[in-house]
């Protein structure tokens, strides 16, 4: 991951805004510690903090089209950049082997429609010096973070993270996923609106096709000129990604990949991750953290994540600690399993979906919110240490197939195990106890006592009287629990813009559900804890129950 800054349509001295851009870029340098670049003129300033993964030698940014003068800064990876070169009709003055340079020339030939051609993850700003216009865009689901804000003079500011805007912009918004923004027109355009978002899918699943599509997604995301590794939680999703990547590594006759897991001592995830790593033959590293280390990191986690959402902070803290260790091994990119639960209805409350229509609609809602939750967590907790995370389940082309499957085939009523169709597609690729392991949220799997201690700490710090007056203390985005109250206090001490808190979602949530899902079961009523263990009738904590679930599913 890199960091980008754009200040457009300057309403003041250019030198003042250049100094501001340098200051803003410094706040997100953790995203790109390898090099800094800046472009400025009388109308715009664009800065870039680079994490060099593809073409480390010559891929520095901002990139400039020598023929048109257009300037580009990108955070992301364009996996199909070599294929896209073949679609260009003009002769272009290529300056690097970077995957990002293709955007300059696609825009030159195809205009805004170029974003639909990109297979990858991206957030970018492109400035046309001749016209003074600019164009900014974000990938299909918001896997790469991006924010937009306006200062008191109305000057537009764009940044990879909200913190760079906080001191300068009283108005800040998340740049919506799957959209682009045309500067002079002041126009938002939704470029990503696939059919499965609008209508009920009816396609019968082909398990071989499902497997092939995921393998293809992983294969293209191995694009890297630097060492990369794997995140393994011991759950189904990360284990599948690790299995596919490890197989590709062996086919290429390369050394075993480094893999990483984290948890409290004797946590469920550590035990299962160890089994996965042994089965795949990875060079595995177990990272053990203590509750006190996690507690001590909370303020830094909230600063980097820019949220006070409870589920996100619970899961981000161990991931943040793990990313620091990963960086120490010289690994700059890792593959992870985010997104599978949203696609296949993997959260435990999906067992209670009343019908296929509601099941699918909830999956669509979950995917549309990923930029505020799991994508935000995965990206920012690793980028805090200059590590990039890639998420093959959210590959645009894989989504196109997986979300076209009839949701009836994904449903998991009663004792049927969640994500059965995905498990069946990869029969024989993992040990049975991993392939059929029940869902554990990452914040649960690293050790149940982690969440228990966070809740206990919140009870000690926040009185009932404080909660009763929470709406007076926090009239906007009011915390609903004592734990959220604690995180909101830290957040407000770090970010001063009146708009900062408005970028964070607030609402009732059980087991990572949206509020709509709360009506699926009476078991949810009166609960406000987002842990997967809240779904007592589904969660199998004991080994015997888990084995029974496996037998039913098999």
Q: What is the per-residue pLDDT across 82-101, written as a single tens digit (0 to 9) for each? A: 999 999 999 999 999 999 99
**The CATH homologous superfamily of the domain defined by 204-553:** HUPs (3.40.50.620)
Res. 526 pLDDT band, cuts 50 70 90? low
Nearest to 110 by CA among 134, 90, 131: 90
Amino acid 449: pLDDT: 87
Contact predicate 84/117, CB 8 Å? yes
Give the Cα-Cα-Cα angle 29, 30, 35 (nearest 5 degrees). 50
3-state secondary structure of 143: coil
Contact predicate 148/193, CB 8 Å? no
Q: What is the mean pLDDT of residues 475-501?
A: 96
**Rounded distance between C-alpha atoms, residue 394 and residue 402, angstroms:** 10
Amino acid 43: pLDDT: 96
Is residue 363 over pLDDT 80?
Answer: yes
Which CATH fold would you assign to the domain 3-193?
3.60.20
Amino acid 519: pLDDT: 78
The pLDDT tens digits of the residues spanning 155-168 come to: 999 999 999 999 99
Give the Cα-Cα-Cα angle 553, 233, 76 (nearest 5 degrees). 115
Give the dihedral of Cα atoms 209, 215, 216, 219; nearest 10 deg.
Answer: -170
198 CB burial (10 A radius; 0-12, 13-18, 19+): exposed
Enumerate residues 6+ apart whose C-beta is below 8 A from 545: none
The pLDDT tens digits of the residues spanning 217-248 come to: 999 999 999 999 999 999 999 999 999 999 99
The pLDDT tens digits of the residues spanning 199-214 come to: 999 999 999 999 999 9
Higher pLDDT, 122 or 530: 122
Neighbouring C-beta atoms of residue 204, cutoff 10 Å: 9
Res. 261 pLDDT band, cuts 50 70 90? very high
Pairing of β 120-127 and β 171-174: unpaired
Res. 190 pLDDT band, cuts 50 70 90? very high
Amino acid 547: pLDDT: 39
Res. 530 pLDDT band, cuts 50 70 90? low
3-state secondary structure of 521: coil
For residue 437, what are the CA distances in angstroms to 91, 108, 129, 214, 423?
A: 53, 49, 55, 20, 10
Res. 548 pLDDT band, cuts 50 70 90? very low
Is residue 145 over pLDDT 80?
Answer: yes
Amino acid 512: pLDDT: 58
Res. 538 pLDDT band, cuts 50 70 90? low
The pLDDT tens digits of the residues spanning 399-454 come to: 999 999 999 999 999 889 999 999 999 999 999 999 999 876 544 556 678 999 99
**Rounded distance between C-alpha atoms, residue 426 and residue 428, angstroms:** 6
For residue 2, what are its two tokens? 């890199």
Amino acid 267: pLDDT: 86
Neighbouring C-beta atoms of residue 460, cutoff 10 Å: 10
Q: Work out the mean pLDDT of the chain and round it to a whole number.
A: 92
3-state secondary structure of 304: helix
Angle, helices 448-461 vs 310-328, to 10°: value is: 120
Res. 551 pLDDT band, cuts 50 70 90? very low
Is residue 542 over pLDDT 50?
Answer: no
- Residue owning tokens 């408005």: 502
Could you tell me the residue ranges of all domains in the chain? 3-193, 204-553
**Rounded distance between C-alpha atoms, residue 504 and residue 291, angstroms:** 26
Residues acting as catalytic residues: 2
3-state secondary structure of 377: helix
The pLDDT tens digits of the residues spanning 289-312 come to: 999 999 999 999 999 999 999 999
**Rounded distance between C-alpha atoms, residue 448 and residue 123, angstroms:** 36
């Amino acid at each position: 991951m890199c960091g980008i800054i754009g200040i457009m349509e300057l309403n003041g001295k250019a030198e003042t805004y250049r100094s501001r851009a340098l200051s803003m870029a410094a706040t997100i340098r953790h995203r790109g510690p390898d090099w800094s670049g800046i472009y400025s003129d009388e109308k715009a300033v664009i800065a870039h903090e680079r994490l060099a993964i593809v073409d480390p030698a010559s891929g520095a940014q901002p990139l400039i089209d020598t023929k048109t003068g257009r300037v580009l800064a990108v955070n992301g990876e364009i996996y199909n950049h070599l294929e896209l070169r073949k679609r260009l009709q003009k002769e272009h003055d290529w300056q690097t082997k970077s995957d990002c340079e293709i955007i300059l020339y696609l825009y030159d030939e195809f205009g805004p429609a170029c974003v639909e051609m990109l297979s990858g993850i991206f957030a970018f700003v492109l400035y046309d010096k001749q016209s003074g216009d600019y164009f900014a865009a974000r990938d299909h689901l918001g896997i790469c973070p991006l924010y937009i804000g306006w200062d008191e003079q109305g000057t537009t500011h764009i940044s990879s993270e909200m913190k760079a805007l906080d001191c300068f912009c009283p108005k800040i918004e998340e740049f919506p996923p799957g959209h682009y923004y045309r500067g002079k027109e002041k126009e938002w355009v939704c470029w990503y609106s696939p059919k499965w978002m609008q209508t009920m899918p009816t396609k019968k699943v082909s398990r071989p096709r499902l497997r092939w599509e995921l393998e293809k997604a992983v294969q293209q995301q191995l694009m890297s000129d630097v060492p990369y590794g794997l995140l393994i939680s011991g759950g189904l999703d990360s284990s599948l990604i690790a299995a596919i990547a490890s197989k590709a590594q062996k086919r290429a006759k390369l050394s075993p990949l480094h893999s990483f897991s984290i948890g409290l001592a004797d946590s469920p995830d550590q035990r299962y991750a160890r089994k996965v790593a042994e089965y795949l033959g990875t060079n595995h590293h177990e990272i053990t953290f203590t509750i006190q280390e996690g507690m001590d990191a909370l303020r830094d986690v909230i600063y980097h994540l820019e949220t006070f959402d409870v589920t996100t902070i619970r899961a981000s803290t161990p991931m943040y600690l793990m990313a620091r260790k990963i960086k120490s091994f010289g690994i700059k990119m890792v593959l992870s399993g985010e997104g599978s639960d949203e696609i296949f209805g993997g959260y435990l409350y999906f067992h209670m979906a009343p019908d296929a229509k509601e099941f699918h609609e909830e999956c669509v809602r979950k995917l549309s919110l990923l930029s505020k939750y799991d994508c935000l967590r995965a990206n920012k907790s690793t980028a805090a240490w200059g590590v990039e995370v890639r998420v093959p389940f959210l590959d645009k082309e894989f989504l196109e197939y997986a979300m076209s499957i009839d949701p009836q085939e994904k449903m998991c009523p009663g004792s049927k195990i969640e994500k059965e169709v995905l498990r069946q597609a990869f029969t024989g690729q993992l040990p049975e106890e991993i392939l059929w392991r029940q869902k554990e949220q990452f914040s649960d799997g690293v050790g149940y006592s982690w969440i228990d201690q966070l809740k206990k700490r919140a009870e000690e710090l926040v009185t009932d009287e404080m909660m009763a007056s929470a709406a007076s203390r926090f009239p906007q985005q009011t915390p609903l629990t004592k734990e959220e109250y604690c995180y909101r206090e830290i957040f407000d001490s770090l970010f001063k813009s009146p708009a900062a808190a408005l970028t964070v979602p607030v609402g009732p949530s059980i087991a990572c559900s949206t509020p709509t899902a709360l009506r699926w079961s009476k078991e949810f009523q009166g609960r406000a804890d987002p842990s997967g263990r809240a779904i007592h009738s589904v969660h199998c904590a004991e080994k015997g129950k888990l084995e029974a679930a496996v037998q039913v599913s098999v």
